[in-house]
Each structure stands twice: as C-alpha cells, then as structure tokens.
Copies of this chain bind each other. A is one copy, B any other.
Amino acid sequence: MNYQAILEEIEREILPLFGEGKVADYIPALANVNPNQFSISLQMFDGTSFGIGEINKKFSIQSISKVFTFTMALNYYGKELYKRVGHEPSGNPFNSLVQLEYENGIPRNPFINAGAIVTADSLVSIYKDNTFSQILEFIRTVANDETINFDGEIFHSELEHGFRNYALINMIKSFGNIHNKIDDVIKTYFKQCSIMMSPAQLAKSMLFLANHGENPITNEVIITESKAKRINSLMLTCGHYDASGDFAYKVGLPGKSGVGGGIVAIVPKKMAICVYSPRLNAQGNSLIGTKALELFTTKTGLSIF
C-alpha cells in the first residue's frame, strides 16, 4: 500500500474542516499554539516511516502520557492494580466527579483524569521522589530518544489552573485511594501531562504496543504480550473519554488522545500512528485528527474489526 499517497489524499480531504473546533484554552500555554497545524507520522516495524506536516515539531502530550504511566503501573502491580482503578468505559466526561462519588473513589479506568491520578499515585508509592524522572526515563526508552522532556511553563500553568484535578485528587483521597501526599502526586501528574513530544516520537513510542509488548526496532521487551493486548483494548474502549465509542465506531483502532491536540493509534502487528492538530471537538479530542484517522482506516481497510 502506498501510505505516503494515502496521507496526502487525507490532507487534501480534511482541508474543508480547518477552522472547525477550538484549541484548549484552560491554560495560556496551550491556548497560544497555532490552531491550524496538521501533521501525521506513520512508523513501521522495520524502521521506515511516512509523514506529512511538521512531524518533528513537539507539542504537549497531555493525556497521551496516561498510556505510559498505566503501562509502568500494570507492569509492576499486575492485577493488584485493578483494586484501585477499573477498566470500564465511564460514559462521562474526562474530568467528571459524579461516578467517583457513587463508586467510592475507585475511578472507572486509567484514562480518565481520576484514574490517571490514582495511577500516578501508585507510581509514587514505588519510585518516591524519583517518580517523574522514572516516567521520563520510561518514555525515552520506548521512544528510543533521550531528548524528550517536559515544559516548565505548561507545568506551572497546570499547577495554577488545575482546580478540577485538585478536586478529583482530594475526592479520591477522602475515600482513601490516594496513598501519598496530594502535592507529590498532583505534581507528578501535571508534569507528565506537560511532556513535549513530536508526532514522530509519539508514533515510535507506541510501536511496542502494536508489536505485542516488544519494541520492534530495539527488540526490547517492554511488557508481556498479554498486558500489551489489554492496554490496547483499554485504548479502544476508553481512549477518547465519552467519545470512545464513536472513535471505535468510525476509526476502529486502539488510540489515545490528549487535549494538546495529539492522537496516537496502533494497528496491531503493523504500525503505530500519531496525528496532531490542536483544534478540539466537543469531547476534547482533536477534531481533524479524529477525522484523519477515520479516513485512514476507510482508505486502508486497517480497522481491527
């Protein structure tokens, strides 16, 4: 299949959508990006790649970081982790507190904010003061790139404006499902959200999930096959908040979005993809990114269904 030609076709077809959607504006550092960016990076198992747009320009990965931290926590805790965070779709917006109250502080899944905060807490229990550097180290390993880092301005902006996340962590703590100091956990969480990566780096960093736990380029085994499949299933059912069903329905690939405008997706046994375009739809997912991936599976027939 001529992937490069397909990407170019997609670029032409999504042109009429530019201008729709709205860049995340809850912190100034995100609000100030150029809203009309669009890029895709495809990474194959043999190291070849395809792309359009500025595939090496970094952006804030935000919730995509939840895939990395959940991988780390699942690797360490295994099934024990399920006692503290579930793996069911929530049917609610990403930052909802409602379900948390009815379900005694056990978040539905690790990809809503509440679940990612509990996941971060579980990592703080292991790595203490080194938690964030371990997360960064893990991402550098799976992306095979030592230059990845976080953005201090975005981090501080989140710290100052993240009231809803403070509400979530305090709520969970009130149910006893946060074991460490709120301050330590929330800082870890906000730092992981402010990590900067390019579409090319993100696509590469997802290859191990497309390849059953093993990075196909470095041959490093990151996680067992069985756990890799479970992470993929979780991306499919819960990767896009309350638009997860719609993404599965229209795109048909395991994926994870972030309010920074990025979406990663994997085609099992074939490739990893990252799309970037910062304008978001009503559910907080990249509007053009979602559409581009829908066109991609329609044109290639690569949906997992």
Interface of A with B (CB < 8 Å)?
Answer: 86-92, 96-99, 101-102, 108-109, 163-164, 166-168, 170-171, 173-174, 182, 225-226, 228-230, 232-234, 236-238, 242-246, 248-250, 252, 254, 268, 298, 301, 303-305
Partner of A245, one of B102, B163, B171, B234: B234
Known A-B contacts A168-B167, A254-B305; the reply to A87 vs B226 at CB < 8 A is no
Q: How distant is the Cα of A145 from the Cα of B243 in the complex, in angstroms? A: 38
Chain B residues with CB below 8 A from A166, complex form: 166-167, 170
From B87, B97, B242, give the contact of A249 (CB < 8 A): B87
Contact A163 B167 (CB under 8 A): no
Task: Please provide the 9 A-B residue pairs with the shortest distance between their CB atoms, ordered closest to farther.
Answer: A91-B91, A89-B89, A88-B245, A167-B170, A232-B305, A163-B174, A166-B170, A167-B171, A229-B305
Given A163-B182, A164-B174, A167-B167, 14 more pairs with CB closer than 8 A: A91-B91, A91-B92, A97-B171, A98-B98, A167-B168, A167-B174, A229-B252, A233-B245, A234-B248, A236-B237, A236-B305, A238-B245, A254-B305, A268-B304
In the complex, chain B residues whose CB is within 8 Å of the CB of A89: 88-89, 91, 237, 244-245
Looking at the complex, which one of B98, B109, B233 makes contact with A252 (CB distance below 8 Å)? B233
Residue of B nearest to A92 (CB): B91
Indicate if the CB atoms of A88 and B232 lie closer than 8 Å. Answer: no
Jot down 13 A-B pairs with beta carbons below 8 A, ordered by A.
Answer: A91-B99, A96-B101, A98-B101, A108-B245, A163-B182, A164-B171, A166-B167, A170-B170, A229-B252, A230-B305, A233-B245, A237-B237, A304-B305
**Once the chains are docked, how many angstroms separate the CA of A168 from the CA of B168?**
9
A238 and B109 alpha carbons, distance in the complex (Å)? 15
B249–A245 CB distance below 8 A: no
Q: Which residue of B lies closest to A303 (CB)?
A: B229
Please pick, from B87, B96, B163, the residue contacting A170 in the complex, using a CB distance under 8 A. Answer: B163
Contact A88 B91 (CB under 8 A): yes
Distance, CA A237 to CA B173, complexed state (A): 30
Nearest-neighbor residue (CB-CB) of A298 within chain B = B226
Cα A265 to Cα B2 in complex, Å, equals: 33
The residue in chain B whose Cβ has the minimal distance to the Cβ of A100 is B97
> How far does the Cβ of A131 sit from chain B's closest Cβ, in whole Å?
21
